[in-house]
Chains A and B, each alone.
Chain A
């Protein structure tokens, strides 16, 4: 195939364009979501589409690093296109915020670009809408973010979702004992539920401690089951793990009080797939979607990398993944067909203009 032809017929992997009805629906959903964020006191931020790669190099997982589009500017500096809003936002906020301004609530809704294999359409990560709550250390930060996440999904009409909540704190003690490299391996094994690999990484622990960790990492269920499990492992795994589990129990108790608990599950294999995760983490799953539709958590050390030592918690919703699954009845009213609008009446342009202006004042959409 001639080169020019191919460049006309396709766009680079990891990007997308969508038109007319799809674009209209997308914009309406973005409006709904960002309006919801604003009602919770969050203000918008706009991150740059491109930034210096060196600023983020140490914060990228191997996988994330592979998916980044890089380019070189005219001074020879290596740049990266925005592949994750959270990172770019952390740098911006870290540089401009002052600790006396905290807490600060911000939201974003923007495109991201990640390379995908030519035959891989499953990621569908082209647009993130999310929030960051900066400067809240207490569990109320997690609670606010989880409740807003649930309300966001409901606002989108994504009712058949469930959010799995875990904590990165479970691996902190392991990092202290075995080092960062072992923790990275462990996090991957926990996320992929590989018990044999986990047992191997934990060989320096006693058989009882190892089994206690394994029983934690395989646990998915409710808060009362977690309480029973905590009591069983408390003696083996000590104060740090026990208090991390009690934090989750506390959060679930409040969610229950708010009648929201049915939308959440305790899942201790959710330990966060980003190197900067530091506390409670979560991912939302939706029926008929092969990837999580939202993810987030606490990352208290991230902003400090950019100059502001402030705790932070937030989430990002992969809006395009959700959109494709929404029930038509829950979608915003949309145009249909190529000629969806009424036509203004009148023989002359001026007559049609006047009648259209009148109709628009009544809230109608009309073409001349």
Chain B
């Protein structure tokens, strides 16, 4: 882990993009402000309590697992796909979405074959979900633009995140079933937590609005 005892700030990986903006906005409401250097992928909380490391969303669990960042902010979808268990210390009140099974608006379910075919980025989730229901499933892995799969005939169904549904509507798709609610979580490498537990607990209390006291620097 890239921390040393006592003086170094707590480290946290945050995914680049919209979740980063929401995180910074939320942290500001907790009195935590960050200075960003131009084009830098590292940001420091102005009082030295926290260092943010900006990473690609799907890589975030890797950085936390290997201790490069002690903590991280990630959607449950990304965490599930990583196959790694972390401490989940806090649930944010932003970024929630749904994992849904979708198909074309004009699709007739009576056309379903014996084995369900599903195109998705979330292969681990999709496989475990359908196997958990006792349904055999053929998973087709895609890296993006999953909505194209039913439109072009690659697979009748997709499993994907749906927030407002506008992308689905634009591609004449509909939600067949909501499979899970997806929250944004504060995760932590278990060994990092054990070494910094009192500072991390104080940080979480601050997020919860329980205290705005300065966090202890020693453990």
Contacts and interface: CB of A to CB of B under 8 A. Distances in A.
A292 B193 CA distance: 11
Nearest to B8: A287
Interface residues of B, number: 22
Interface residues of A, number: 21
Interface of A: 117, 119-122, 160, 162, 164, 192-194, 220, 267, 283, 285, 287-292
A289 B191 contact: yes
Closest 9 CB pairs of A and B: A290-B67, A285-B194, A122-B66, A288-B1, A285-B191, A220-B197, A193-B87, A285-B195, A122-B65
26 contacts: A119-B62, A120-B65, A121-B66, A122-B65, A122-B67, A160-B5, A162-B194, A162-B195, A192-B85, A192-B87, A193-B87, A194-B88, A220-B194, A220-B197, A283-B194, A285-B195, A287-B3, A287-B195, A288-B3, A288-B4, A288-B67, A289-B1, A289-B191, A290-B1, A290-B65, A290-B66
Interface in B184-219: 189-195, 197
A197 to B, nearest CB: 10
Contacts of B191: 285, 289-292
Nearest to B89: A193
A283 B65 CA distance: 18
Given A122-B66, A162-B195, A292-B191, A287 B88 contact: no
Interface of B: 1-5, 62, 65-67, 83, 85, 87-89, 189-195, 197
B15 to A, nearest CB: 19
Interface SS, B side: mixed
Contacts of B87: 192-193
Contacts of A194: 88
Contacts of A290: 1, 65-67, 189, 191-192
Contacts of A267: 194
Residue among B4, B189, B195 with max Cβ neighbours from chain A (10 Å): B195
Contacts of A289: 1, 67, 191
Given A220-B194, A288-B3, 15 more contacts: A117-B83, A122-B65, A192-B190, A193-B87, A193-B193, A283-B194, A285-B194, A287-B1, A287-B4, A287-B5, A287-B195, A288-B67, A289-B191, A290-B67, A292-B191
